Structure 1
Amino acid sequence: MTPWFAKQLLFFLSLASLPHLKYLPPAPELTREQSVQEIQYKVIRMKDQLAGTGWHRFSNERLIVSSMAVPAPTPLQYWDLAGWSCGPNAVTRAVSLVTGRTLFTSNVEYTRFALGVPKGLGAYHDHQYDDAMSYNTYGFKNVYNLLLMLRVPGVVQSSLSGWGLKTGAPPEWLAQYMNAYAEIGSGMHGLEFVYYGTNNFNNLWQQVTAHLDRGEGIIPLVVSGALQWHYLNIAGYSPETGEVLLLDYGRLLKWSIHHLQGLMYMGFNSQYYQGKEYAAFAVSSLVNWFSTINDYNVIFVRRKDIAGSRY
């Protein structure tokens, strides 16, 4: 089985999981395709484009610390992390935004952490074997995560994993894992990770702004295609201009809130029968077999001693 065929098989399996649609939620103003086309020019510099009033955001110091929180990997480490590690990246940046400090002092330390975060598909490394493994292997044992393909025959799952297909954990899994990881300390003790999903973007945005106003981290899940899910960080918003400030790969981005909504939307946009809309919804329906996925999904990162919203 070739990698191309494996990807096509995963896609058609997701199409088969599509539910019968009776009542469609309101579609966002912009389609996924339009949102993807409009985000390329949004990289900004803090000193030039954030000097105006009206921004509710983290301080420049927190933005700088967070943008440098993920150490640059070596080529070998990059090969291990490429294609799926946006979740650990976003978690690391969010913790730096909330605490004001960098968690990892070397790329080896960061790689050890990232490889312990479960994947949705592909090989991952289990933290419970840290003491038994060599430091040069990052301290983790290589095992397969079968949960994602629980309802798919084992031979299919083995073929997909064997060809190196990698996907990160769904947001509910990621939040659950990070809560367990924070309990052991490692610079995250005292933090909690709360998954929040909804079918109403206005409700989501109210929660996002409330958490940002309290200085808490926000990790949204955006989707630009069927197998192109991505975690990044919301670092601020401007009610005056209708824009949102994001951190991604150490870059500072500025999108309109409408573009963010278009890329976060996991539902089926009946107004636009475009490939990316249909494919992304098909894959999210497949993921819903085993983990909660709503139309809009975020992870909140906050201190346990701060009274947050209850969902």
Structure 2
Amino acid sequence: MEYKVLQEDQLAETGWQRFSNKRLVLSQRAVPALTPLQYRDLAGWSCGPDAVTRTVSLVTGRRLFTSNIEYTRFALGVPKGLGIYHDHQYDDAMSYNTYGFKEAYYLLWMLNIPKAFQTFLSGRNLKAGAPPQWLAQYMNAYAEADRSTHELEFVYYGTNNFNDMWLQITRHLDKGDGVIPLVASGALQWHYLNIAGYNPETEQVLVLNFDWLLKWSIHRLQGLMYMGFNSQFYQVGEYAAFAASTLVNWFSTVNDYNVIFVRQKDSVGSRR
């Protein structure tokens, strides 16, 4: 089951452990509307920054960015697994341009790839967001330097057992923590979104995918979160996805099931 949830009465069923309607609406609106130029710069890889921004609203009850330039600067500063990013450590030394920072090149999968080759790949729009461990590490560094997120910590958790993963997800949701799972929307199409609640009675989860609020079965979530090799298909894309996940695992932790938990450092487990 999957459908867009917009009205409060669609969330009126009993048994849900979830964020309030106010925070759900706030999170849906947390990412400012982008211009065509900004959308072009972020298209195809920026689900990680998007999910992080919405999670901060779910956990804290406030918006992280008030303008599309602020958000775009943040998103472009998140390192990629492949493609160019923008290094914020040079912001103060730069003259102001569209976003106000320096363009830099990230080393492909942590290897010493020549800059010319990286430029070649980026020119063909071969872009990939950061693996979950890298994204969590970057956001912890960002939080240390940014007053608006200073009270938050980003914790990567990976396992090869979905039952263990589901137990951790429900425990964090019960505390009011943010949950950012990594899912596979297709061969070589990895994607970050948010889990905003769960219902043990109906065995459903409430998912925020960009600004769409959806209901999924727990079984559907398990299937999409699985990053291993599904041998029943034997398709080229399946082999390619498995090879890519193996490559990523050489340089960063990627298990069968992966998630980033976002919580307040002084969290005592109460619902917010």
TM-score, scaled to structure 2: 0.93
TM-score, scaled to structure 1: 0.82
Q: State the alpha-carbon separation in 1 of the partners of residues 126 and 263 from structure 2.
A: 32
1:79-129 superposed Cα distances (whole Å, 9 cap, x missing partner): 111111110000000010000001111101111111111011111000101
1:213-272 superposed Cα distances (whole Å, 9 cap, x missing partner): 000000000112233111000000010111110111211011111111111101112344
1:181 equivalenced with 2:147 (yes/no): no
Q: State the alpha-carbon separation in 1 of the partners of residues 173 and 118 from structure 2.
A: 40
Structure having greater relative contact order (Cα 8 Å, sep ≥ 6): 1
1:254-296 superposed Cα distances (whole Å, 9 cap, x missing partner): 1111111111101112344345543322211111121110000
Q: Which moved more, 1:146-155 or 1:91-100?
A: 146-155
Counterpart of 1:110 in structure 2 is 71
Distance 1:70 1:43, change over 3 A: same
Q: State the alpha-carbon separation in 2 of the partners of residues 162 and 77 from structure 1.
A: 17
1:30-74 superposed Cα distances (whole Å, 9 cap, x missing partner): xxxxxxxxx7x5222342321110111000001011100000111
Equivalent position SS for 1:102 = coil
Q: State the alpha-carbon separation in 1 of the partners of residues 110 and 117 from structure 2.
A: 9
Amino acid at match of 1:182: A
Amino acid at match of 1:48: D
Tell whether the 8 Å contact from 2:108 to 2:118 is kept in structure 1 after alignment.
no
Matches within 5 A, 1:195-274: 195-274=156-235
Q: State the alpha-carbon separation in 2 of the partners of residues 243 and 272 from structure 1.
A: 26
1:170-189 superposed Cα distances (whole Å, 9 cap, x missing partner): 00000000000000124101
CA RMSD of aligned residues (A): 1.8
1:84 equivalenced with 2:69 (yes/no): no
Structure 2 alignment gaps of length 5 or more: none
Tell whether the 8 Å contact from 2:178 to 2:261 is kept in structure 1 after alignment.
yes
1:292 equivalenced with 2:236 (yes/no): no
Tell whether the 8 Å contact from 1:132 to 1:139 is kept in structure 2 after alignment.
no
What percentage of aligned pairs have identical amino acids? 74
1:110-152 superposed Cα distances (whole Å, 9 cap, x missing partner): 1111111101111100010111223333122111111426276
Number of residue-to-residue matches in the alignment: 269
Q: State the alpha-carbon separation in 1 of the partners of residues 67 and 85 from structure 2.
A: 20
Equivalent position SS for 1:120 = coil
Q: State the alpha-carbon separation in 2 of the partners of residues 86 and 80 from structure 1.
A: 13
Equivalent position SS for 1:148 = helix
Q: State the alpha-carbon separation in 2 of the partners of residues 218 and 85 from structure 1.
A: 17
Structure 1 alignment gaps of length 5 or more: 1-38
Tell whether the 8 Å contact from 1:123 to 1:143 is kept in structure 2 after alignment.
yes
Tell whether the 8 Å contact from 1:149 to 1:157 is kept in structure 2 after alignment.
no
